[in-house]
Amino acid sequence: MNKEIATINRTRDILKKHGFSFKKSLGQNFLIDTNVLSRIVDHADVTSETGVIEVGPGIGALTEQLAKRAKKVVAFEIDKRLIPILDETLSPYRNTTIINQDVLKANIHEVIDQELKGCKEIMVVANLPYYVTTPIIMKVLEEQLPVKGIVVMLQKEVADRMTAVPSTKDYGTLSVAVQYYTEAKVVMDVPRTVFIPQPNVDSAVIKLNLRDKPIVDLKNHSYFSDLVKSSFAQRRKTILNNLVTRYKKDGLSKAQIEDLLSKANISPNRRGETLTIKEFALLSDLFYQEQG
């Protein structure tokens, strides 16, 4: 039996055998610590009934650990140079499928129907390439894929923003966007030393449990997203000033905006970072009605 993929020696042997060189543009940092990988799989609660979607499997270090416990693992890998390597490293695991495609362009609903239909539940588990972390997570959430949750390694700074609460420096548009759909929690920090090559940033694993339904009902989701983004446009400005800057071009006067804030029971002197998701939802509904 081959040694596990996620050791420094086995990883180096695989890379050398295939003459593989890392592409910085693809954010390739491979994990070389089986304990870290095992803990990621633990946090994802993967069982023999679980179907897993992985993004960016690299040479298969996490895929291997997932395949040992899951019913089926489907991994999207954009780098075609890695496909023959994965075919080799994952050959002992018959419950894995590798798809050579950019996950952001993939029809994941279709892949789930074809590859994971026999699974009781579906999890997204990945060591995400840092440069596309947010688009990948938002694609999963906004396309309302039938997944139970998401457990991914990402840049610690981004994980902190996704899990931040109001009135903290990390709380912003991304916090609201992620927490609208999920309950978000950082479950472990990961040192740079467990990667090859070592990244220039610290990493963390985040767990996103999908809500049965979004935390608030909205009259118009895109309007809500725009209002939240506008509220954080200049963090030092008050909510009133940010909203006046954004909505005066839509014909709303400062007096009208002050009135809408008053109806929402939100002081015009507050900053966007102090508003809860429920306050943003109420405000966006009032603005939407005003302009409807």
Domain chopping of the chain, boundaries = 8-210, 221-291
Report the distance separating Cα 183 and Cα 180, nearest Å: 8
**CA atoms in the 13 A half-sphere facing the CB of 230:** 21
Question: Residue 28 has what pLDDT?
Answer: 79
Q: Which residues participate in the annotated binding site for S-adenosyl-L-methionine?
A: 29, 31, 56, 77, 102, 127
Question: Residue 219 has what pLDDT?
Answer: 94
Question: Residue 2 has what pLDDT?
Answer: 61
Q: Calculate Rg over the CA atoms of the chain.
A: 22
Q: Is 16 exposed, middle or buried (0-12, 13-18, 19+ CB in 10 A)?
A: exposed
Contact in structure between 269 and 240 (CB atoms under 8 Å)? yes
pLDDT tens for the chain, 292 residues long, are 468 999 999 999 999 999 988 877 777 789 999 999 999 999 999 999 999 999 999 999 999 999 999 999 999 999 999 999 999 999 999 999 999 999 999 999 999 999 999 999 999 999 998 889 999 999 999 999 999 999 999 999 999 999 999 999 999 999 999 999 999 999 999 999 999 988 888 999 999 999 999 999 999 999 999 999 999 999 899 999 999 999 999 999 999 999 999 999 999 999 999 999 999 999 999 999 988 7
Question: Residue 291 has what pLDDT?
Answer: 81
pLDDT tens readout for residues 240-278: 999 999 999 999 999 999 999 999 999 999 999 999 999
Dihedral pair phi/psi, residue 139, rounded to 5°: -60, -45
Report the distance separating Cα 290 and Cα 264, nearest Å: 13
Give the CATH architecture of domain 221-291: Orthogonal Bundle (1.10)
Question: Residue 256 has what pLDDT?
Answer: 95
Name the CATH superfamily, with its identifier, for domain 8-210. Vaccinia Virus protein VP39 (3.40.50.150)
Q: Which residues participate in the annotated binding site?
A: 29, 31, 56, 77, 102, 127
